[in-house]
Structures are given as C-alpha cells and as structure tokens.
Amino acid sequence: MTAPMVEGKNCPHCGEAMKKWAAPGFNHSDGLGFGVPYMYVCFNDDCSLFVNGWNTMYDNYGRIGSMRQFFNSFDGDEGALPVAHRDAMRGDIMEA
C-alpha cells in the first residue's frame, strides 16, 4: 500500500519549514538513489541535527561532515542525509 503524498513539512529538530529539493535522477536496482523527483530537506544551519551532526559524523564514522533532515513526501520516509559541507545540496533547492 502506498502512503498518500504529503507536500512540505517542518523539520522535527528545529521546526523550520523544509525546502523542496531536487533528488538526484539516478536509481539503481540495488536500492541506490531515491527514486523520486524531489524531497524536502532542512537547510537551516542552526538546526540541532546539522549543528551536532559534525561531532556525530566524526565520533562515529571518523569522517568530516554533518547531516540534514529529509522528508520524502511520496512515501512518508524521513531521516538524515549526510553532507560533506555547509553548502552541499543547496544548488538543487527548487524554491526560494
């Protein structure tokens, strides 16, 4: 059963409205890729997930980077996307 499509959402970590983001267009049979044209992502640099994500990524994975909250309005999935730097993914924001 497919979840009903829901447009937009506020970030559960900071409450800010998430921005519509063009998901990469590739999708592979092994599950890589998102398989949807867009998702919603929190680009608030003061969001607790993004602020605390730098230490989380380094402490748990030995990598420099952070995370941004995402919401897939097509299936209701949500979670954290890893980002390598503050400006990562900003070029694919679909709305101001």
34 to 15, 26, 29, 55, 76: CA distances (angstroms): 24, 8, 11, 26, 13
pTM: 0.85
The range of the structural domain enclosing residue 67 comes to 19-26+35-92
Surface-to-core class of residue 71, CB atoms within 10 Å of its CB (0-12 exposed, 13-18 middle, 19+ buried): buried
| Residue 78 in domain | yes
- For 41-61, the pLDDT digits (tens) are 999 999 999 999 999 999 999
User: Residues in the chain with pLDDT < 70?
Assistant: 1-7, 27-32, 96
Domain tally, the chain: 1
In a domain, 73, yes or no: yes
Q: Which residue, among 2, 11, 9, 13, has the nearest Cα to 36 in the 3D structure?
A: 2
Cα three-residue angle 39-40-44, rounded to 5 degrees: 145
